[in-house]
Structure formats: C-alpha cells, structure tokens
C-alpha cells in the first residue's frame, strides 16, 4: 500500500465559532434526530419518496412516515397524508400512479396502497400473518410477500392457530442448531415467499401461493433479510430469490444460492448458482430482462469475503464478474433505467461511495460520489437520488444529474436543531501500521475546542471486526457525542477493517490480538505526536462487539495508556464463545476451525488467559438478548474484574440484543458511559 498522509477535513467549524448559544451534540440530540433513508424515485422522474424515522419518546420507540420531494428541488419536501397511520417501505407502481407501502394500522404489518399524492390509503393485503416485506410485479398483476410460516402447514390459518395455541407443557425439543439466532429463540417457522394475484391493484380473495413449499430455508434470510433477497423476472412470470438450505449444518455454512420459481409454483425452485458454495445474494434482473446481476462471495464459511458483482446472460447462460481486478466489496447495487450501467456502493478509504460499472465494456468502475457515507440510492432516467451522511451531519437526500456540477442537497431535516449545535472538527490521517502497510484513522476535536488547550480522549475501537469507523453519522457509536461532551476522539481502521482492499480485511483472521493491536498502538503514538490537543494522561478506550473483545485484550496486554476502559457486548473467553455463539461460521472462520479441532487457535488471543494482568477500571455493558455474543461473556468479564478487586460496573439491559435500540436505553447508555469517563479522566 502507498504511504501517504491524507488529511481530509470533514467539518469546517472554526474554533472561534464556539459561543454561548451553541452546544455540543448530546445523546438526547442524537436520539431525537429524524433519520432519512430508503429514497425511491418515481418512474415519471419528477418526484421521489423516502422514509423518515422519528422518535416517539413517550412510547420509547421509533416511528416511520413517508415523505415526497420534488427532484428539481423547486418546492420543499412534504409529509404524505398516508403517514398518519404509520407508513414505511414506500414503493412505486411501474406506471408511477400508485405508492405501495407497509403499515400496521390494521393491527399487523400489511401492504397498503395510495395514489401518487399519498392520499386515499387502501389496504391491499388482509392476511392472518404479519407481512415482512413485499415486491410488486412489473406488470402490476402480482404481489409477492414474505411471511414466517410453519413449513408443514398448508394454510396460513394453520400457522396462526399453532402460534396462538397454549404451550403446555412448556418444554421444547430441538434436534439441530440455531436454537436461538441473534435475539430470538427458534419457533419452527421459516420465512417463505407467497404470490397474491392483484385485480385493479387490489389483492383477490383466496389463499396465497407458497412459492417455497417444502423448502427448508428462509427467504428473506434471518435476521436481517429484506426485499433485496428476491426479485421478479422482467416478464412477471417468476421470481428469483436468495436462500440457504438449512439442514443440520446451517449455523456453520454460508452457502446462499439463487433459486428461480414460477409464480404458479407449478415446478419446484431451480438452483441457478449450484456451482458456488459461498454466498450468492441480491438478485436483480436488467430492465430489458436479458441479464441477471447479483453479488457473489468465493470462500465458503467467510461472511466478510469480497462481494463480487456478477452478470449472467439469461439466454446463453454466459456468466462473468464485472471488474474482477477491483479490490473493493460491493455492498448494494441497482441497474440504471436503460440497463447500460450498474450503480453500486462500496466502502473506499474511510468513505462509502457510489461507483458506476459498465456491463457491456467491463473495466474498472468509476466513482460517482466523493467523501461521505452513501446509505442508499435510486437511479432515475437522467439523475441519481441518494441519501448521504458524514461524521458531522445526519443523512439528507441529494440529487446528482448530468447538469449538476456537484451533488445538490434536496432535504434539510433537523436544520433547526443542527443550527444550535457545534460539531467537532474531524480529520483523516494515515500512518505505517503492521507490516509497514498504510493504516487510516480519524481524529476529532472537541466541540468546544480552543487552540492551545489539551483535552481528554475517547479512543473508539470498532466492531465487526470486519467493519469501519469511517466518515459516517453513527446512531450508536457517534464520535460527535464524545466531542460534544468535551472529549477529543481518535478512531483507527486497523487491519481487518473494510474499504481498504480484501487483503487488508483478511489480515485479521486468526490474528485478533496481534496485528490490529499493533495498528492501534502505532495509531495512538502517531496521533499523540501529531495532535497536541490530545491529553495522553486522560484517555479511555471504548469498544463494542469485537471492539469490546479488544478492550478485554488491551486490559491484559496494553493497559498502560488508559485511565479507564468501556466494553459493550465484548468477548471474554474466545474458546467458550466458539461453543455458545449462534452463527458458528464466524467463530470457526476467524479461528481456523472448530474449538475441538484447533483449541490452540482459540486460546492464542483469549482475553480470559490474561486476567491476572487486569488493573484498569472497566465498565461492562451487555444486552440479555444478545445471542451473537452471549450474556455470559459480559458476566465473565465483570466477574473477573470484581474478583480481582478492579474498579468496575456492569450495565445490564434485559430488553436489548447486540445493540441498544430503545431511545430511553440509549440515553442511559450514554449517561453511564460519560459518567464513567468523567470519573477517571477528571483532572
């Protein structure tokens, strides 16, 4: 990798801008921001709809509404009337006359429809089970919905009756794993896709057709699958879906395949990617119906392998990868309206950009957007509409057309609140890390920064470990909340991080405790030497998931720089983790196999083996419904600290999973963390 210092100023608030009427970002501000996402341009090209998530503090939850904007930005965006009953997942009909959307106003999530002005909502589905996601056929005659059903039930009512039946006795016998997954215990249901006929846009009476009858697997996948897991063929006669056959080995294999099935379900699904034993996902048919594009990984069992963009000629079967020499991983993609371009998002050197691929010419993709984090996008006939945020600004909707010299911001949500907040100034830097390779990081000044002063430091360590603390506005680990509380922030994208090439990402597997630790150490040393406002004597390290693991590893192997530590849902005993986590493929890939085949690998960087060296105060946070990193990992950490007499606290969330999602819990999380930091970094 090239060695070069890249100084990228993300926010340009000068130090003199701090004044008494401005304040730094607080946890309440963060939780109160309206969140823009899921933008969809009308087939007519003049308007677009998007999702706006707001916070209902009284009910301690997020609420969703649909907004419409003028693509030309001549009039301000407005909230659609159909939002009064709750609305999300707004989707246009092919002719642009109707908006289909999800709403629970009838008592459970169902599909509804409104005219293009967002009024006169009509319920389209009246199914006895909740609808998880949906797609409308190009010809408008069929709706495919996803529902969780018992595979042996022949009717939806059978699933409903069984789910409501009292369970006496209460015991459940399992004969294979995924007894629990993410934050739910297995109940025997599977996500299946069902076809419903539409007449004049409304669902006809009758039992939907199960397109996955007898299929032992989920589509959309669990726990985070959505409509990108399935798509229609251009003739509206069939769907193509991504799924993994479950069986006994589901928890330790990542072999998702693409299947094609007619909407009549007259024949069983046909496997289109049987030759690839790794992940195949996100099928999308070209507008003219001649090509199929999808994302494919190559290495079975590795969930963070590079996502290659594949294209297949549906007539000849010829298949090829677009830009095989491009060392980035595509996160999402869409065809252009004319089918001549595929637009895809990918992390790239701390940013998440849109790139343009040419299915006909091939070659390397061209970047379309610059700095910042593109969350989602939609191509129009002559423009791209996308949502983008960065370290200093929540997401807004932007337009980029052929006539625009630069992206044009169309929405301005949270403007009044943001006008009262002073954001910390962020800068990207690079240094020589493990093996002399270039490693990137960010430093952020406190919101109340004054030249010549030094400030306590929050050293944030990202999770994954295949992830990144890049140029984005995070709603759990947001650097600006620390800057707003008077802390400087340092974040290092150590080896294992995404967006710097697959080789960089691969470097962490079986090396959790050495290569990334060296990067963190060298990054900290570099930052202290370059930025005089960092107070090395008042610094605490914080991390979640893998970042929490690293906190425990630091406690026994690099504790000297830190006044305190904060560990959220982090690993304590990597050997025990190999037998208790839900998705075994992750633990087995990262450690080179199973715990009984490779025990030495699991013990090589096991924080539990270094407890004797723990001396630094540590705050431990864990959610009881976290089945990815089970509760016992957090309790084990706290037990070790307490038994040794190390100052420590344990924050238990009985109603959270691997993340803290409830607004009030988010406030408690931040209050507890800041009290801990303040306690140990006070002068």
SS3 label, residue 65: strand
Query: Is 670 in the active site?
Result: no
Per the DSSP assignment, residues forming a β-bridge with 123 are 112
CA-to-CA distance for 559 and 644, rounded, in angstroms?
16
Strand locations in 412-519, DSSP E? 426-432, 438-444, 455-461, 488-493
Query: Considering 89, 545, 587, 648, which one is annotated as catalytic?
Result: 545
Dig out the tokens for 27 from the structure.
């946890």
- For residues 650, 653, 658, 663, the Cα torsion angle rounded to the nearest 10 degrees is -120
CA-to-CA distance for 94 and 115, rounded, in angstroms?
13
CA-to-CA distance for 552 and 554, rounded, in angstroms?
5
Sheet of strand 280-285, all strands in order from the earlier edge strand to the far edge: 280-285, 291-296, 308-313, 319-322
SS in 3 state form for 298-350?
CCCCCCCCCCEEEEEECCCCCEEEECCCCCCCEEEEEECCCCCCEEEEEEECC
User: Would strands 455-461 and 488-493 be described as parallel, antiparallel, or unpaired?
Assistant: parallel
Q: Each residue of 557-583: b (16+ CB within 10 Å) or e?
A: bbbebbbbbbbbbbbbbbbbbbeebbb
Query: Considering 64, 511, 610, 658, which one is annotated as catalytic?
Result: 658
Backbone angles phi, psi at 298, to 5 degrees: -115, -30
What residues contact 38, with CB distance under 8 A and at least 6 apart?
50, 51, 88, 89, 90, 376, 387
Give the H or E element holding residue 520: helix 515-530
For the chain, state the CA radius of gyration: 25
CB 377 within 8 A of CB 398: no
Q: Each residue of 229-247: b (16+ CB within 10 Å) or e?
A: bbbbbbebebbbbbbbebe
CB 551 within 8 A of CB 541: yes
Query: Considering 376, 626, 648, 670, which one is annotated as catalytic?
Result: 626
Give the H or E element holding residue 553: helix 546-557
What residues contact 425, with CB distance under 8 A and at least 6 apart?
9, 10, 11, 12, 13, 444, 445, 449
Query: Is 626 in the active site?
Result: yes
CA-to-CA distance for 31 and 29, rounded, in angstroms?
5
CB 346 within 8 A of CB 500: no
DSSP-derived secondary structure for 98-165: EEEEEE-TTSS-EEEEEETTS-S-EE----SS---EEEE-TTSSEEEEEEEE-TT-SSHHHHHHHHHS
What residues contact 170, with CB distance under 8 A and at least 6 apart?
none
CB 265 within 8 A of CB 210: yes
CB 251 within 8 A of CB 628: no
Query: Is 545 in the active site?
Result: yes
CB 72 within 8 A of CB 117: no
CB 297 within 8 A of CB 308: yes
Active site residues: 545, 626, 658
């Amino acid at each position: 990798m090239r060695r070069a210092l890249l100084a990228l100023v993300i926010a340009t608030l000068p130090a003199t801008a701090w004044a008494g009427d401005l304040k730094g970002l607080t946890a309440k501000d963060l939780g109160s921001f309206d969140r823009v996402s899921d933008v969809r341009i009308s087939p007519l090209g003049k308007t677009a709809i998007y999702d706006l998530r707001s916070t209902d503090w009284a009910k301690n939850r997020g609420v969703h509404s649909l907004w419409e904007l003028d693509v030309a930005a001549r009039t301000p965006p407005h909230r659609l009337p159909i939002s009064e009953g709750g609305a999300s997942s707004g989707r246009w009909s092919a002719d642009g006359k109707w908006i289909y959307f999800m709403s629970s106003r009838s008592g459970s999530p169902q599909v509804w429809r409104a005219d293009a002005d967002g009024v006169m909502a009509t319920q389209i589905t009246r199914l006895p089970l909740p609808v998880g996601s949906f797609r409308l056929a190009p010809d408008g005659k069929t709706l495919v919905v996803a529902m969780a059903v018992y595979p042996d039930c022949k009717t939806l009512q059978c699933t409903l009756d069984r789910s409501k039946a009292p369970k006496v006795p209460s015991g459940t016998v399992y004969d294979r794993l995924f007894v629990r997954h993410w934050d739910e215990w297995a109940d025997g249901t599977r996500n299946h896709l069902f076809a419903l006929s539409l007449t004049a846009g409304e669902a006809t009476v009758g039992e939907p057709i199960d397109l996955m009858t007898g299929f032992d697997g989920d589509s959309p996948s669990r726990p985070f699958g959505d409509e990108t897991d399935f798509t229609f063929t251009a003739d509206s006669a069939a769907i193509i879906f991504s799924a993994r056959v479950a069986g006994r080995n589901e928890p330790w294999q990542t072999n998702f395949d693409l299947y094609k099935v007619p909407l009549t379900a007259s024949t069983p699904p046909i496997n289109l990617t049987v030759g690839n034993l790794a992940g195949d996902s996100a099928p999308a048919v070209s507008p003219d119906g001649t090509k199929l594009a999808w994302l494919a990984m190559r290495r079975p069992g590795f969930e963070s392998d590079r996502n290659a963009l594949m294209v297949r000629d549906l007539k000849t079967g010829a298949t090829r990868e677009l830009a095989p020499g491009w060392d980035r991983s595509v996160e999402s993609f869409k065809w252009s309206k004319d089918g001549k371009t595929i637009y895809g998002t990918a992390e790239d050197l701390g940013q998440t950009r849109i790139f343009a691929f040419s299915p006909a010419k091939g070659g390397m993709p061209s970047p379309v957007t610059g700095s910042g984090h593109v969350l989602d996008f939609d191509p129009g006939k002559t423009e791209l509409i996308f949502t983008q945020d960065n370290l200093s600004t929540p997401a807004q909707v932007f337009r980029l057309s052929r006539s625009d010299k630069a992206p044009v911001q169309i929405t301005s949500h949270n403007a009044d609140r943001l006008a009262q907040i002073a954001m910390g100034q962020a800068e990207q830097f690079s240094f020589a890390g493990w093996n002399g390779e270039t490693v990137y990081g960010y430093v952020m000044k406190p919101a109340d920064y004054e030249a010549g002063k030094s400030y306590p430091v929050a050293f944030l360590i990202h999770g994954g470990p295949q992830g990144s603390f890049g140029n984005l506005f995070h709603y759990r680990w947001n650097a600006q909340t620390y800057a707003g509380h008077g802390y400087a922030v340092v974040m290092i994208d150590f080896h294992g991080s995404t967006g710097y090439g697959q080789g960089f990402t691969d470097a962490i597997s079986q090396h959790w405790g050495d290569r990334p630790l060296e990067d963190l150490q060298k990054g900290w040393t570099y930052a202290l030497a370059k930025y005089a406002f960092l107070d090395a004597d008042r610094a605490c390290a914080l991390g979640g998931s893998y970042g929490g693991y690293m906190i425990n590893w630091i406690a026994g192997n690099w504790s000297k720089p830190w006044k305190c530590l904060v560990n959220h849902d982090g690993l304590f005993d990597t050997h025990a983790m190999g037998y208790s986590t839900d998705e075994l493929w992750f633990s087995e890939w990262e450690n080179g196999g199973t715990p009984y085949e490779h025990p030495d690998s699991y013990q090589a960087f096991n924080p539990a083996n270094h407890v004797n060296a723990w001396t630094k105060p540590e705050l431990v946070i864990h959610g009881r419904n976290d089945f990815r990193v089970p509760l016992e990992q957090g309790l084990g950490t706290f037990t070790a600290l307490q038994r040794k007499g190390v100052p420590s606290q344990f924050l238990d969330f009985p109603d959270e999973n691997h993340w803290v999602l409830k607004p009030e819990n988010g406030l408690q999380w931040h209050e507890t963390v800041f009290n801990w930091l303040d306690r140990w970094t006070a002068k």
